[in-house]
Amino acid sequence: MQLLYSQLTRRHHPGDEDELFSVWQVLFRASIILMFSLVVFSLITGCSHIEPRVEIVMPTTSAPRQEVHVPVINGAIFQTVNAPRPLFEDQKPGRVGDILTVAIVEKTSASRSSKSSSAKTSDTKAAVPALAGLPGKSFLSAQLAANAANTFEGKGETANDNTFTGTLTVTVVSVLPNGNLVVAGEKQIGINHNTESIRFSGVVNPLTIQAGNVVQSPQVADARLEYRGKGYIDEAQRMGWLQRFFLNAFPF
């Protein structure tokens, strides 16, 4: 600062104009860098104070459509329109909007191992016999030899083991012509800025529904099971964007 002050306050000669101009250039660039740093710092600190919200998505299942029926006055005691479930009818889910509990018991295990190797060796040797009376005797008696070897060995092994247990209550969204039930449902839990969601859908045979309206997930056809999280815990398990860039751009 003293050097800069002396440069600005001393008497300037005609030859010092270029030096003074360079000093003002340095000051201008320093001010631009300082302003840019302040803007970036304010943006970073401002974003750090934004409190994240727990995102709750509406369910994917739909409630049964309420059809409007015109009451028929036929003098009967029991009416079929808007009538409750009969007393002697099975109470298992069978209509759109009925609910049942899916006991999720999924366990998969897979492993694979492969190994391959190959080797190839070749040896070539040639010699030119020496003939008497011919020029270039030293050249004619030369011998040629070549050796080549190629070896390859590869080995790969992979293993996958997944276990998922739990319960989830789903809703009947459609009834197929053969009586099978298309079910779907989800559960969302938001705790401390973290959202955990479980989604399940599939086709259930009413004969596989156990007491208490419970069905085992291995008995559900076309099952779709999804478990995802969103929040600080999920972000901690992700690779940084710069690391992903170098991972994709690195050719080796």
- Condensed to tens digits (0 to 9), the pLDDT of residues 181-199 reads 999 998 888 877 778 888 8
CB atoms closer than 10 angstroms to residue 199: 19
Q: What is the pLDDT of residue 214?
A: 92
Which residue in 120, 121, 118 sits closest to 153, CA to CA?
118
Average pLDDT over residues 42-52: 54
Q: Please tell me the pTM assigned to this model.
A: 0.51
Which residue in 57, 154, 68, 160 sits closest to 108, CA to CA?
160
Buried b (16+ CB within 10 A) or exposed e, 25-38: eeeeeeeeeeeeee
More confident residue, 69 or 243: 243
Domain map (residue ranges) of the chain: 2-48, 112-158
